[in-house]
């Protein structure tokens, strides 16, 4: 079974609500293309999961361990004593795979924001005019004829000027896009 590696970049998960953790648990345990359980996941076999589900806060370290091994090579994890990789390594790998423009020495928050903006940009290009209008309305953007470029510029401006509030806006936008596209957007 996967073992949690203490990771300061994942410590915040201990303070997440069950609702916050629900999507993460779902992504780690189920394939969203067909809804079936992932063959490689081990979280649902953990005694804590079986005892406390859906009270995810009770087994947050198991969720983190699953995330760390989800983002790691299975054979290497076995050699490491069933310990996966730290979140930073997973994030850097995802940024490389999605061709995110980033500096590997940047802090976690900057890497995450660059990743989020790249996913947003790729996702916005997939939306039709009506979906763009809906998104612009949901984000309270005053755009009469929203285009992917205009929505992206508005989101980037919000990130530069308002910090945390912008992250909330970007998260709402990402979730709206995911819903509009019918699943996880990549």
pLDDT band of 54, cuts 50, 70, 90:
very high
| Tokens 């076995």 belong to residue | 78
The pTM of the full predicted model, rounded to 2 decimals, is 0.77
Look up residue 83 and give its DSSP letter: B
Identify the residue with better confidence: 137 or 49: 49
Sign of the C-alpha dihedral computed for residues 110, 41, 32 and 98 taken in this order: positive
Break the chain into its structural domains and give their ranges.
11-85, 102-181
Q: Name the band, by pLDDT with cuts 50, 70 and 90, for residue 72.
A: low
Q: Evaluate if residue 181 carries a pLDDT over 90.
A: no
DSSP letter at 36 equals P
pLDDT band at 71 (very low <50, low <70, confident <90, very high): low
Say whether the peptide bond before residue 54 is cis (omega within 30 degrees of 0): yes
Most confident by average pLDDT, 16-20, 43-47, 97-101, 152-156:
43-47
d(CA 164, CA 24): 21
Say how far apart CA 181 and CA 183 lie, in whole Å: 6
Task: Report the alpha-carbon distance of residue 170 to residue 99 in Å, rounded.
Answer: 19
> Which of the given ranges, 32-36, 76-80, 104-108, 128-132, has the highest pLDDT on average?
104-108
Whether omega before 2 lies within 30 degrees of 0, making that bond cis, reads no
């Amino acid at each position: 079974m996967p073992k949690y590696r203490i990771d300061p970049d994942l410590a915040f998960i201990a303070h997440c609500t069950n609702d916050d953790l629900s999507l993460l648990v779902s992504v780690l345990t189920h394939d969203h293309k067909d809804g079936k359980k992932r063959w490689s996941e081990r979280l649902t076999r953990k005694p804590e999961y079986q005892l406390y589900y859906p009270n995810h806060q009770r087994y947050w370290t198991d969720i983190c361990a699953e995330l760390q091994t989800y983002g790691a090579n299975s054979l290497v994890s076995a050699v490491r004593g069933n310990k996966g990789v730290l979140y930073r390594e997973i994030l850097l790998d995802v940024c490389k795979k999605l061709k995110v423009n980033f500096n590997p020495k940047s802090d976690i928050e900057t890497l995450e924001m660059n990743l989020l903006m790249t996913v947003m940009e790729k996702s916005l290009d997939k939306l039709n005019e009506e979906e763009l209008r809906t998104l612009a309305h949901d984000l309270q953007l005053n755009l009469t004829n929203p285009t992917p470029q205009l929505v992206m510029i508005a989101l980037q401006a919000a990130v530069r000027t308002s910090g945390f509030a912008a992250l909330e806006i970007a998260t709402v936008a990402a979730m709206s896009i995911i819903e509009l596209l019918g699943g996880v957007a990549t």
